Structure 1
Amino acid sequence: MARDDLSVLTALDVAKTQWYHFTAIIVAGMGFFTDAYDLFSIANVTKLLGRIYYTHEGAPKPGTLPPNVSLAVNGVALCGTLAGQVFFGWLGDKMGRKKVYGLTLAIMVFSSIASGLSFGHTAKGTVSTLCFFRFWLGFGIGGDYPLSATIMSEYANKKTRGAFIAAVFAMQGFGILFGGLVSLVISTIFDHAYSAPAYEVNAEASLVPQADYVWRIILMLGALPAALTYYWRMKMPETARYTALVAKNAKQAAQDMSKVLQVEIEAEQDKVDKLSERDNNNFGLFTKKFAKRHGMHLVGTCTTWFLLDIAYYSSNLFQKDIYSSIGWLPPAKEMNAIHEVFRVSKAQVLIALCGTVPGYWFTVAFIDHLGRFFIQLMGFFFMTVFMFALAIPYDHWTKKENRIGFLVMYALTFFFANFGPNSTTFVVPAEIFPARLRSTCHGISSAAGKAGAIVGAFGFLYASQSKDATKRDAGYPAGIGMKNTLIVLAVSNCLGMFFTFLVPESKGKSLEELSGENEDEGTNDTSQPPPVSSRTVPV
């Protein structure tokens, strides 16, 4: 039975949608806009890096990044992201959400600029510097996941909380789209200003000296949206749930939310003291009580995010390889280096417009009506269906007359990823855990997702190689081929459906109801998970 509800938390739960909600969405969302731009824009310039820095005769395939270099360039930011999610998730619970919120943005701004200024006397030196700064870029990006999700969930009312958190994450779609558009514009400017022949005997033939500016400008522009929102992040007050339930300062929580909500809220320090004294509010992450109450929930959020990101990041980071494999992108010898950036970016923009961005906003529109569980299960199901539909008749899709059909099916996998588990795996961990562990648990869940992304990014690059030595790229071992790789991704999505049953429905409940923080030890058996919905999902 819920008792001693704090008036400041009740006021937040029942508040009507106000301007501060939209301000919080934009301020937190611009971090994800920057995240997506920085993480996925590298895919647009990877081929260009190969043409610029690996044209010498000793390269495995002149004009192409060697396997280990390609893995590093694409995967090092994901490794940094994983580390940042765990570290800043923990720090957000120890120091407060606001105190470390600006730091993540500052790291992202500095690292974006530094990535574009990567230097070195040799190709290895330049790429090594780029990888170093992209690791720290990922570290800042990683911190944005648990902090933005937690801040938005603790600011939102319970009626539309899912839509608000999903809207923050939906800015990622605009970041992917903006990254493609920026690459299109930059490559068009340079392609028209400086003409270069197509790729002939070696990659040097398709280059102009100004080509080195293209990838640098594209990467550095990722600092702009983050820098523009830094001031507003610093102006946001600490969330009332952290101030009251973790810092135990009822007066400060009431003052902060009185300004935000523009209503008078009573400071109830006696209630805060009573809540803090209850045994069921004092357990830590590595305790039996947490394992009994939330252990399976954490397993569910980690496994579903892990399985999703195997498929999602493989598909996003290596779009160019998938397009080339079906012949939608012409061979490199038919394009100069800058025009190749244009063609890869054009493909990314089309997929983002047709599948990625709409999927995010369908989730925003329906998550508080259909529920998190239904949307996640549905998304995994259709991702599985469309991946199998691409993989099983793969030879059919490689024919020129069927390429449009392939792209439509491929776009639908992105649509149902975003109108599905890519959004819900971000939302749910920010709702179901106690305030003092919320940021930490979200960081652990999102880090599990990035572990899946690393598996997907590294595994896809090798697995998608042809088994035929005459067809696969020089320097790569034999893979299982693109068809079998798509089947593996489909199976990963199918497993995600089953692990979804470990994740509770959180629609329409307050955060304290979901976590059990307002439950009286004497009236409930806290060894069992708190009720999470009007219907219990069987495990």
Structure 2
Amino acid sequence: MYAWSLLWFGIGVGGEYPMTSITAMEGVHGQPRWGQLVNQVVLILALLTFHSGGSPPYGEVATQYTFRISFAFIAIFLLFLIYIRVFKLKNANQSFNASRKRGRVTGYDVTSLRLVMGHYWHRLFATSLCWFCNDFPFYGNQIFRNVFLQLVTGGNSSEVTTLWLYNLVNVGCELVGYYLAALLIDHKLYGRKRMQAVGFLMNFVLFIIAAAIFPKLDTMGAGAHGFEFIYFFSSFWIQFGPNSTTFLVAGEVYPSPVRATAHGLFAAVGKCGALTATVLYNYIGSRTKFWVVCWFGLIGFCLAVVFIPDTTGLDLREQERYWLFVREGRQDEYHGIAIHPRHLSLFEKVILKRGRNYDPELDQKAKIEELRSLYDRVNSEKGTELGEETGESIDEKVSTYFDWEKTKEVHTI
């Protein structure tokens, strides 16, 4: 039953997860979620209620009620989210559908997928491996928490409430990191790329320190408190770093026709990291776990610095505009902000030299011509809603300008 539940969870959430991130990027914003924290609180309160305390042994009635109530509680929110997704986010795939129509694609966009494999292979490589490198320490952090608990409790605790209370503190640290990430992820002086790189680097530093001085940390008193700090601080940097950026970057750096496909692929690669950690940690010692996990932080840092572009402040519509040029085989004619050096990776700037065609003056002229073409198309298709076909519309001021320009031409003649 557990295996089947994972299968259906992957099909359902695995498909919706990237679409949710796309919806967020297209401007549909939700409320902050405290899911992990609330879940832990519900578990603790339910056990205290039905067991009259946290000390073992735990009876069948207490464990069954705790288990079932925690699932019933979250089911209420799941039903509410289903209602929101079905009835309130009907236009969640608007950008995707509009892009397909602009590219005259009626089915799955195989052409765009092939182009992405060739044009953005380096981004595919980096975003997938960065997700792998993130999930390895992220889920590893959950797996070796037993090592942490043995150190801070002296191996004498058999109460699940002790585990849950420490986990509650850990989730609190993650929550602080997550909110700080939300605060700075769009800031021009920090943004996505720096956040991801610094988060990976800090995890490398913290875990390699833990590995190097593990004998000193593996003692009660000051050593255990030092381990406590490293454990909680690493959780903070995972959230204020790659766990808040990998899924977002993996959606933003690709065109909408294949964005969900690419996102799902990278999520699968990331889960391979979680699976690898889960299996590997059963066969290696406590200190070796830290020697292993630290290097994934360093690998993730190097990948982020070299291959990950910085999409902070970049309008996704401009990304789509650039992709139209690529799709039509005339990418050298694009001069817009999507190839500005600050939005390209180090590899794209130095090796591929994709920023060489950036020219704001030529781009401004090209945009005027594109708007004029769109304006003419609107006038020639009187009975058709242009927005339904392309997802684009003409601003009233722009339309007024072209009306005036046309009138001026008539008077000149």
How does the TM-score come out when normalised to structure 2? 0.73
Contact 1:509 1:533 in 2 (8 A): no
Q: Deviations over 1:217-249 (max 9, x none)?
A: 334433222112221211212243123222x2x
Contact 1:506 1:514 in 2 (8 A): no
- 138 and 189 in structure 1: CA distance in 2 versus 1, 3 angstrom threshold: farther
Matches within 5 A, 1:130-529: 130-155=2-27, 171=33, 174-192=34-52, 198=56, 206-213=57-64, 214-235=66-87, 236-238=89-91, 239-246=93-100, 248=101, 272=102, 276=104, 283-285=111-113, 287=114, 289-319=115-145, 321-328=146-153, 330-331=155-156, 335=158, 340-353=159-172, 355-369=173-187, 370-402=190-222, 403-460=224-281, 462-463=282-283, 479=284, 481-500=285-304, 501-515=306-320, 516-519=322-325, 521=328, 524-525=331-332
Displacement of 1:456: 1.4
- 220 and 457 in structure 1: CA distance in 2 versus 1, 3 angstrom threshold: farther
Contact 1:362 1:419 in 2 (8 A): yes
- 216 and 391 in structure 1: CA distance in 2 versus 1, 3 angstrom threshold: farther
Task: Tell me whether 397-406 or 367-376 shows the greater mean CA deviation.
Answer: 397-406
- 310 and 187 in structure 1: CA distance in 2 versus 1, 3 angstrom threshold: same
SS at match of 2:331: coil
Which whole-Å CA distance do the structure 1 matches of 2:47 and 2:167 have between them? 14
Displacement of 1:376: 0.7
Which whole-Å CA distance do the structure 2 matches of 1:295 and 1:506 have between them? 17
Contact 2:47 2:63 in 1 (8 A): no
Unaligned runs of 5+ in 1: 1-128, 157-163, 199-205, 249-271, 464-478
Displacement of 1:366: 0.5
How many equivalent pairs are there?
334
Which whole-Å CA distance do the structure 1 matches of 2:137 and 2:302 have between them? 16
Which whole-Å CA distance do the structure 2 matches of 1:413 and 1:526 have between them? 45
Which whole-Å CA distance do the structure 2 matches of 1:386 and 1:517 have between them? 40
Displacement of 1:327: 4.1
| Identity score, percent | 23
Which whole-Å CA distance do the structure 2 matches of 1:314 and 1:522 have between them? 44
Which whole-Å CA distance do the structure 2 matches of 1:532 and 1:491 have between them? 32
Q: Mark the structure with the bigger radius of gyration.
A: 2
Displacement of 1:385: 0.7
- 329 and 233 in structure 1: CA distance in 2 versus 1, 3 angstrom threshold: farther
Unaligned runs of 5+ in 2: 348-413
Which whole-Å CA distance do the structure 1 matches of 2:340 and 2:278 have between them? 35
Displacement of 1:378: 0.5
Which whole-Å CA distance do the structure 2 matches of 1:152 and 1:535 have between them? 20
Which whole-Å CA distance do the structure 2 matches of 1:328 and 1:311 have between them? 23
Contact 1:358 1:415 in 2 (8 A): yes
Question: CA RMSD, aligned part only?
Answer: 2.8
How does the TM-score come out when normalised to structure 1? 0.57
Structure-2 residue corresponding to 1:85: none
Q: Deviations over 1:302-333 (max 9, x none)?
A: 000011101101112442x123331427435x
- 343 and 134 in structure 1: CA distance in 2 versus 1, 3 angstrom threshold: farther
Higher RCO structure (Cα 8 Å, ≥6 apart): 1
Q: Which amino acid aligns with 1:208?
A: G
Contact 1:276 1:282 in 2 (8 A): no
Displacement of 1:538: 1.8
Which whole-Å CA distance do the structure 1 matches of 2:180 and 2:14 have between them? 25
Contact 1:513 1:531 in 2 (8 A): no
